Amino acid sequence: MSKERLVMVGNGMAGIRTIEEIISRDPNKFEITIIGKEPYPNYNRIMLSNILQKKMTIEETIMNPYDWYKDNGIHLITGDQVVKINKEEKFVETKEGKVVSYDKCIIATGSNSFILPINGSRLEGVIGWRTIEDTKKMIEMAKTKKKAVVIGGGLLGLECARGLLDQGMEVTVVHLAEWLMEMQLDRKAGQLLKDDLIAQGMKFELQANTQEIIGEEKVEGIQLSDGRILETDMVVMAVGIRPITKEARAAGLEIGRGIIVDDYMRTSDEHIFAVGECCEHNSKVYGLVAPLYEQGKVLADYLTGQETEGYKGSTTFTSLKVSGCDLFSAGKIHTSENIKGIETFNSVDNIYKKIFVENNRIVGAVLYGDTAEGNRYYNMMKKQETIEEYTLVSLLHKAGEVDALDVSAMDDNETICGCNGISKGTIVQAIKDEGLTSVQEVTKMTKAGNSCGKCKGQILELLQHTLGDDFENSKPEGICACTSLSRDQIVTQIRAKGLKTSKEVRHVLDFDDKNGCPKCRPAINYYLNMVYPKDHQDEKESRFANERYHANIQKDGTFSVIPQMQGGVTDADQLIKLGEVAKKYNVPLVKITGAQRIGLYGLKKEELPEVWEDLGMRSASAYGKKTRSVKSCVGKEFCRFGTQYTTKLGIRLEKTFEYIDTPHKFKMGVSGCPRSCVESGVKDFGVIGVENGFQIYIGGNGGTEVEAATHLTTVQTEDEVVKLCGAFMQYYRETGIYAERTAPWLKRMGFEQVKDVLLDQEQQDTLYNRIMEAKEAVSKEPWQQITNDKQARKIFNVERV
C-alpha cells in the first residue's frame, strides 16, 4: 500500500509539532515534504528574546536539527517559499520553481510583524521582529546605533526592549495604552512592571501615539501625535502580528483574519488544513504556542484516524522572559458585573496576586513578583474547579502553608507544561518507563519544557520526587538548570556581595529562572543558613514538602511519621503512646526503621497535625538533609563483648548535632566493639569502641552504591569524639555541594586534605566553634518543636487561593 503524500507549507513550531504528533501516531502513513522560507531547521521562536538578551545562541534554539528530518524520512526544503497552492490539481509551487504534489496539505505559514502604515516606516533602521534573521540584524545594528524606540509595550515589545538594553542601547518604549501589557495585566500589575523596568534603565512614553518616523534615508526620530519628537536611530515595530494568508487567499480558501478552519483544522477545501498563527478558529487567531500545539494534536488525530472531539479553543496564559520581572497571566483578567477580583499586594517584597472569579470558579489570574502558583491556578481554570473549600484571602500565614511548589500532591492529570499540554502523569510515567534522569531527557521524550521553559523547575521537582536519591542534576556545570554558576561561585558571591535572601541571590546573580527551581531553592537556602547561621531567617517555602510536613511522603501519597528516639532508645510510656496513636488512626503499618526508630506508615496528610499532637513527641529528622540518626549498640553496659558505653555516646552525639543542616543526610553509628553491629564502617561518621578508646571512620555511605568509611584516627575520650565529629560536620557543611553525600565529597576533597584539616588542633577548634554557632541558631528554630502547636496544623491544610 503506497503512502499518502503530505505537504507542509511552513517549517515553524506549530507545523513541526503537528508532524511530530502524526509520526508518533502512525509513522508509515505519509510521505512527508516540508517547505520552509527560512534557511534553518525548526527553531524555538519563543527564545529569540534570549538570543537578543545574550542568554542563548542561535544553535541552542534549534528544536529539530537536520538529522531529525532525515531520520524520519522527511524531505525538507529550506530557504524557499511556497508562492502558489493549486487546490484543483493538488500541488504547491515554490519561488524557486519546485512543484510538489500532495494528497493532503497543511498550511502553517505563521504570521508577519505588523508594520504601522505611517510616513517613514520604510526608512533604514525600521524593523519588525519575528525571525532569526531579524534578531541577527538587530544585534548588528546595535553595534553602530545608540538609541532605539520600541513601538508597542506588549509581551514582544518588552522582551525586545530588554534585549536592546543588553546590547548596550538606550531604549524607549512607546505604548498607546495606559499601562504595559494591558491585554494580559491589570493596571496594578502593569505599574509594578513599569517600575521594575525603569529601574533596569528602560524609558517609557505611555498613552503615546506614533504619528510619523522622521528621517531622509535613515531613521532620525519619531514624532508623537502631541507634536513631541523623540530622537532615535532604530525603530522596532512590536504592535502585533498579521496571519500570512496571501497564498491561501489566492488559492480560493475562505479567509477572515486568518485562514478559517473548523474543529478538525480543515479549511474550506477538504484536502487542505491549517494550524498555528495563520489560521482562524471560531473567530479567534492565537499567537501563543500552547493553543497552536493543541491544534496540532487534534489535526494529527484526525489525519491518522484517531478518535478526537476536535479543537474547542484554548485557555491561554502568558509569562515574560525579562530578568527581574516575574509575571504570569491567564484567562479573563478584567472585572465586570459577573467577574469579581480577589487581590493581595505585599509591598515589602513587591508581590501582587489577583484572581478573577465567575460563578465561584477561577476564570483568570494575574501574578507579579511571585509566579509559583501560576500553574495551579491555570489547572484550576482548565478543570473549572470551584473555590468553595478555599480561604480566599489569608494574611501572615506561616511560610510553607501553601504548597505551590509541591508537585507530589498534584493529580496526575494536572498540567505541568502548559505550552505543550503535558501532564504530571505523562512525565512521571516516562521517567519510570524510560529511566529518564535529566530535564533534557524528559523534554526529548515528552516535549515538556521545550517551548518557553518556565516549567523546567517543576520537571526537576518531578524527577526528584520520582527518583529520590537516584536523581542527578541535569546541568552538572551549575547547581541546577537555572544557572551555570557552581556551588563555590554562589557561596563566594553570597559572602562578597552580602546577599541575604534566596530571591536576592537569584536576581543579583542573574539566574535564568528568577523563581528558582526545586534544585536551587533548597540549595541556596542551605548556603545562606551556612554562611549566616544566626542572621539568615530560614526560608521554609524553599524546603521540600517532607520537611515542612515533618513526615515522609510514600509512593501511594500517604505519609510516615517517625518520632525521635535518640540513640534508638525508647521507654514503656513512649511505646504505649505509639500504640494508642496507631490504634486511634488505624495505622496500616507500624515498623522498626533501619535507624532504630518506630515508624507509623500510611497516614493521611490531613491527619498529621492531630497525630503529632496526640503523640506529644518531637519529630525525628528522618526526611531532611541534616543529622538523620545515630545508631548504637548496647555496648559495655550490657554486651559481654562491649568495650565502651556506646548508647550514652550515641545519645550525646544526636543531642549535640540534631537538626543542624548539612549538604545531604548525615548518618552516624556507634559500635561498642570491632564486631560493629550497627555498621559503623558504612556511616558518614562511624565510631568503633576498642580497649584504648574509639576508632573514628569517615565518609562511609550505604545505599545503592556502598562506600566503606575510611579510618581517620583513634581517640581516647568521648569529648574528643564529639569535638572531632563537629569539626568534620562543619568542614563538610562549608565545602560540600548541596545534595552531595560525604563519600563523593571525600573523594573530591581528597582524604589526606580532610585529615590534615581535622587533625590540626587549631583548625579543629575553629570548625567546632562554628558548628556550635549553627547549633545555637537551630535551637531557636520553632519548626523543630511541633508538639501542641496549633499553628502547625495550618501547614497541612489544603492550599489556599
Q: Is 639 annotated as a binding residue?
A: yes
Q: Is residue 308 part of a domain?
A: no
Give 8's strand partners: 34, 106
Q: Is residue 371 part of a domain?
A: no
Among 327-336, 449-458, 485-494, whose mean pLDDT is lowest?
A: 449-458
In the DSSP assignment, the letter for residue 37 is S
- Where are the alpha helices (H) located in 449-590, listed in sequence order? 456-467, 487-497, 502-508, 520-531, 545-549, 572-584
The residue ranking higher by pLDDT, 415 or 299, is: 299
Confidence (pLDDT) at 545 = 67
Residues 657 and 611 both lie in one domain: no
- Residue 527: all three cell numbers together: 548556603
Residues 634 and 753 both lie in one domain: yes
Q: Is residue 22 part of a domain?
A: yes
Confidence (pLDDT) at 396 = 56
The residue ranking higher by pLDDT, 304 or 497, is: 304
Picking from 528, 543, 558, the residue at the C-terminal end of a domain is 543
Residues 513 and 654 both lie in one domain: no
Q: Domain total for the chain?
A: 5
Residue 622 pLDDT > 80 = no
Q: Is residue 382 part of a domain?
A: no
The span from the CA of 301 to the CA of 297, in Å, is 6
Grid cell 542573574 in the structure block, residue: 510
Task: Give me the mean pLDDT over the 52-57 stretch.
Answer: 81
Which DSSP helix (H) or strand (E) runs through 763? helix 761-778
Task: Give me the mean pLDDT over the 73-90 stretch.
Answer: 95
Model pTM score: 0.60
Residues 74 and 10 both lie in one domain: yes
Mean pLDDT of the chain: 85
Q: Is 480 annotated as a binding residue?
A: no
In the DSSP assignment, the letter for residue 450 is S
Q: Is residue 61 part of a domain?
A: yes
- Which residue segment(s) compose the domain that 81 sits in? 4-110+243-303
Residue 370 pLDDT > 60 = yes
Residues 566 and 533 both lie in one domain: no
Confidence (pLDDT) at 324 = 64
- % of the chain at pLDDT higher than 70: 92
Task: Give me the mean pLDDT over the 284-296 stretch.
Answer: 89
Give 241's strand partners: 113
Residues 263 and 218 both lie in one domain: no
Confidence (pLDDT) at 430 = 86
Q: How confident is the model at residue 42 (pLDDT cuts 50, 70, 90)?
A: very high
In the DSSP assignment, the letter for residue 209 is -
Confidence (pLDDT) at 304 = 95
Task: Give me the mean pLDDT over the 689-696 stretch.
Answer: 89
Domain with residue 29: its CATH number is 3.50.50.60
Confidence (pLDDT) at 788 = 36
Grid cell 508581590 in the structure block, residue: 351
Picking from 223, 239, 255, the residue at the C-terminal end of a domain is 239
pLDDT in tens, 426-435: 888 888 888 8
Domain with residue 632: its CATH number is 3.30.413.10
Q: How confident is the model at residue 296 (pLDDT cuts 50, 70, 90)?
A: very high
Q: Is residue 418 part of a domain?
A: no
Residues 532 and 639 both lie in one domain: no
Q: Is residue 347 part of a domain?
A: no
Torsion of CA 737, 740, 744, 748, to 10 degrees: 0
Q: Is 633 annotated as a binding residue?
A: yes
Residues 554 and 532 both lie in one domain: no
Residues 631 and 769 both lie in one domain: yes
Q: Is residue 359 part of a domain?
A: no
Residues 526 and 588 both lie in one domain: no
Query: Minimal CA–CA distance to 53: which of 162, 212, 175?
Result: 162
pLDDT in tens, 390-439: 766 665 554 444 444 467 667 777 778 777 778 888 888 888 888 888 77
Q: Is 105 annotated as a binding residue?
A: no
